[in-house]
Amino acid sequence: MSIYVGNLSYQVTEEDLKQAFAEYGTVNRVQLPTDRETGRPRGFAFVEMESDTQEQAAIDALDGAEWMGRDLKVNKAKPREEKSGSSRGSWGGASPRRNNNRY
């Protein structure tokens, strides 16, 4: 399981997050997504810790805490939802296979 950390300062680094969460246990991994166009952090991250107990201690301590001038939102990360393929490729109107107009 991993922890979602939201409302981060855009100046935060992976190392900053590792140091902050290390107070609550062993940090296995930090993901700090960046914007594709600007390369700037997107304002949230995911932190994986060694155990659920350590993750819960970090969540309890840091959710709502002020850090780098921002009030953090810290909770268990939810699994990523699959995007439905039903709207993909749908332009509306008649299907080309059903268009029997002869010219």
- Whole-number pLDDT of residue 91: 47
Please tell me the distance from the alpha carbon of residue 8 to that of residue 17, in angstroms, as a whole number. 10
Please work out, in degrees rounded to the nearest 5, the angle formed at the alpha carbon of residue 14 by the alpha carbons of 12 and 20.
Answer: 80
- Whole-number pLDDT of residue 82: 72
Q: Which residue has the tokens 């970090």?
A: 58
**CATH of range 2-76; options 3.30.70.330, 3.40.50.620, 1.10.1840.10, 3.30.1360.40:** 3.30.70.330
Contact of 32 with 41, CB cutoff 8 Å: yes
Q: Is the pLDDT of residue 4 over 50?
A: yes
Task: Delimit the domains of the chain by residue range.
Answer: 2-76
